[in-house]
Amino acid sequence: MQFLGTTQTASYCGPRKASGFGVLPPAVQAPVVQECYQPYYLPGYRYLNSWRPSLLCKVSDVQTCPDEGTTCRSPLRPPTILPVLHSTLFCRYSPRDWDQTNQLQIGGAEASRLWAGRLMGDSMRLMQDKDQLTRQMQEGTCRNLGQRLSDISFWKSELSYELERLLNENHGMEKVKRRLECAAEEVNCPLQVALECLYHREKRIGIDLVHDNVEKNLIREVDLLKCCQDQMRKLAQRIDIQMRDNRDSQHALERDLEDKSTAQFIDEKCFNLRNTSDCISFFHGVEKVDGTISVPETWTKFSNDNIRHSQNMRANSIRLREEAENLFETLSDQMWKQFTNTNLAFNARVSEVTDVKNKLQTQLAKTLQEIFQAENTIMLLERAIAAKECPLKVAQTRLECRTRRPNVELCRDIPHFKLVNEVFTIDDTLQTLKLRLRETQDTLQLLVMTKCRLEHELAIKANTLCIDKEKCMGMRKAFPCTPRLVGHT
């Protein structure tokens, strides 16, 4: 079978059948088959032949008569048009399509030419406008940079003046601090003792870590000693804190001054840049990166806040120096009185803890006796449970043996009832004894836990007595005299 035509008009022809026409004269040549199919690619479909079969159109090549100029055919054979020729003629374009396509091409070319002309004129005007805009913007930027440099110079002078005054105030504060440290050195000893007592009492364990009268008196003593040091040593600490604040303000001024010097150098460099400078270059995307952290208002406010903060620190320093002149001759009597009250509270607390410790020791002895009795009871219950296991085995064995009686002898008689009742009774007895054994074991565990708690409490009380009686009272045997408390050496 032979395949002819395209995919749209393919036909399958078999062997030629005999017809009523005569045989062609021998003068006519056999048709010559030639390939005349030319592929046509639509836009965007240049590779459709990658999936379509490659087809050839078979066209009959006939001879023409030399006299008439027409195709010579046999008078006995009608003209033959192959299916492939019909398909080829059907796919041709019409003259109207050809004219429309040419007109479209000519019109498109004319429109493109006119558009290109207008675009070139607009481009020239655009370039002139943008050149003028660029020059204006560059001149405005230079004016703004000049104004910015003036602002930086002004704030640099203000910061330098305030920094100098702050350094002088810091020097005066250091002198006052050294005076207060020397006067407060004598008060440091009793304060250290009171603090050590508080630190040791923080090592109490469990419930003994209580806020009792001793701790209250120690806190009052520390507060009273610090009240003396508020005029002496604590004031020195406040001055030290104030000096740290002054240093923070000083560092802020120095950092702000350094940043403004750097910014002034950079802005001067930017101010001097021109289109002919050597150091200019492209930095693509730099205009999209916003690394700024302030605006002109916040920039001015930042430096102004630094100066105001420095002025506030200087005012606080002056007040502290004036306060440090009236500190050295007060509160010695109150300190002695508080020292005595704290010692009395220590003695009362030691007596209370000793009494509770004796009571706990008594309870521990009784608990040990109960533990001994509970252990004996557990041993007796375990023996009773073991004694009930053999009778239960006997009863269950008897029942199992009687289940092997033959036929009608497997009777539910009185021995059977008695054995069943015996098994249930012994099993209930075992369960009762085991339950009582568990209860006794739980009670023993509770007693053991009580014993552990009592021993733990006794250890806590012993630790508390060691802290209060030996460590704290041992440190509180001496106290500075009045002249040394008021700063005399």
Q: Which residue has the higher pLDDT, 40 or 177?
A: 177
Report the distance separating Cα 484 and Cα 489, nearest Å: 6
Residue 12 has φ and ψ, to the nearest 5°, of -120, 120
Report the distance separating Cα 157 and Cα 75, nearest Å: 123
Position 115 scores a pLDDT of 92
CA 9 → CA 49, 51, 55, 90, 371, distances in Å?
17, 17, 12, 11, 112
Comparing CA positions, the residue from 208, 178, 220, 424 lying closest to residue 342 is 220
Question: Residue 38 corresponds to which tokens in the numbers above?
Answer: 């030319």
**With bands split at pLDDT 50, 70 and 90, how would you rate the model's confidence at 68?**
very low
**With bands split at pLDDT 50, 70 and 90, how would you rate the model's confidence at 93?**
confident
Report the distance separating Cα 304 and Cα 249, nearest Å: 12
Which strand (E) or helix (H) includes residue 46? none
Position 486 scores a pLDDT of 56
Q: Which amino acid is at 29?
A: Q
3-state DSSP helix/strand/coil % of the chain, to nearest 5: 70, 5, 25
Position 489 scores a pLDDT of 58
The yes-or-no verdict on residue 73 having pLDDT over 50 is no
**With bands split at pLDDT 50, 70 and 90, how would you rate the model's confidence at 69?**
very low
Q: Which residue has the higher pLDDT, 413 or 303?
A: 303
Helix (H, G, I), strand (E, B) or coil at 61: strand
**pLDDT (tens digit per residue) in 265-314:** 988 888 888 888 888 888 888 778 877 788 889 989 999 999 999 999 99
Q: Which residue has the higher pLDDT, 336 or 62?
A: 336
Position 79 scores a pLDDT of 53
Poorest-pLDDT segment among 83-92, 171-180, 186-195: 83-92
The yes-or-no verdict on residue 195 having pLDDT over 60 is yes
What average pLDDT does the segment 154-182 reach?
A: 89
What average pLDDT does the segment 63-89 reach?
A: 47
Position 23 scores a pLDDT of 40
**With bands split at pLDDT 50, 70 and 90, how would you rate the model's confidence at 261?**
very high
**With bands split at pLDDT 50, 70 and 90, how would you rate the model's confidence at 248?**
very high
**With bands split at pLDDT 50, 70 and 90, how would you rate the model's confidence at 231?**
confident
Poorest-pLDDT segment among 85-99, 235-249, 414-428, 467-481: 85-99
Report the distance separating Cα 220 and Cα 194, nearest Å: 10
The yes-or-no verdict on residue 70 having pLDDT over 50 is no
SS3 letters for 198-257? HHHHCCCCHHHCCCCHHHHHHHHHHHHHHHHHHCCHHHHHHHHHHHHHHHHHHHHHHHHH
Report the distance separating Cα 223 and Cα 228, nearest Å: 9
**pLDDT (tens digit per residue) in 101-139:** 999 999 998 999 899 989 998 999 999 898 899 889 988
Q: Which residue has the higher pLDDT, 461 or 44?
A: 461
Q: pTM score, two decimals? A: 0.43
Report the distance separating Cα 186 and Cα 483, nearest Å: 10
Give the CA count within 13 Å in the CB-facing half-sphere of 400.
6
Report the distance separating Cα 410 and Cα 268, nearest Å: 123
Report the distance separating Cα 161 and Cα 314, nearest Å: 13
Tally of CB atoms within 10 A around 156: 17
Mean pLDDT for the chain overall: 78
Position 77 scores a pLDDT of 53
Give the alpha-carbon dihedral of 286, 287, 288, 291, to 10 degrees.
70
The yes-or-no verdict on residue 220 having pLDDT over 80 is yes
Position 397 scores a pLDDT of 81
The yes-or-no verdict on residue 82 having pLDDT over 90 is no
The yes-or-no verdict on residue 17 having pLDDT over 50 is no
The yes-or-no verdict on residue 488 having pLDDT over 80 is no
